[in-house]
Amino acid sequence: MVNIDKEVNAVIDILKKEHGYYMDMLELSKSKKKIIVEGKVAELDKIVKLEQNMIVNIGQLERKREEEVAKLSGILKLNSAQVTITELAKILRPELKKGLEDIQDKLQATFSELKAVNDVNGQLIEQSLEYIDYSINLFAGSGMETGSLYEDIGKNKSKQSKKNIFDTKV
């Protein structure tokens, strides 16, 4: 049997570093919720820039992971696409298998939580945009009309359609 411990350990180390970045992103995403609710645009911008830097770092780690997977695929004489955690777990020593499966579980849990937090933040941003759209329309005079729909005699008052100044659906 071929010894691939060094390469597998390298992949595990890279995945642990990536997990650290994702945990940091999760904490930032959680803090964004309060910032979005409070409408602090400047602070939100700072967080987005931090996240962008983290994404660049994760991308660099991903390239390193792909290089290690390419080494593994060469040693195992497999296509790089065939070298998955599930496939590696079938041939690894128990301690390496456990290390790889543990980091996989941690990453999956973090991704799931990150997705849920980002979904909530997305909904909050969407609600904020709808509120801004509503406010602009009110300000521009395209909001609800005041007064009754009926004239004094009981006839329907004709509603004149007001044209929006702003294209509200961006």
pLDDT tens-place string over residues 52-71 = 999 999 999 999 999 999 99
CB 25 within 8 A of CB 54: yes
What is the model's pLDDT at position 168? 46
Q: Give the distance from CA 98 to its chain's centroid.
A: 28
- In this predicted structure, the answer to whether residue 119 has a pLDDT above a threshold of 50 is yes
More confident residue, 143 or 81: 81
User: What is the predicted pLDDT for the residue at 65?
Assistant: 94
Long-range contact list for 134-140, CB < 8 A, 24+ apart? 136/166, 136/168, 137/164, 137/166, 137/168, 140/164, 140/165, 140/166
- What is the distance between the alpha carbons of residues 137 and 135, in angstroms, rounded to a whole number? 5
pTM to 2 decimals? 0.74
- Quote the tokens at residue 21: 């970045």
pLDDT one-digit tens code per residue, 14-54: 999 999 999 999 999 999 988 988 888 899 999 999 999 99
**Length of the chain counted residue by residue:** 170
What is the C-alpha to C-alpha distance for residues 66 and 80, in angstroms, rounded to an integer?
A: 8
Domain 5-139 is found in CATH 1.20.58: yes
Residues of the chain with pLDDT > 90, as a percent, come to 51
pLDDT at 147 over 60: no
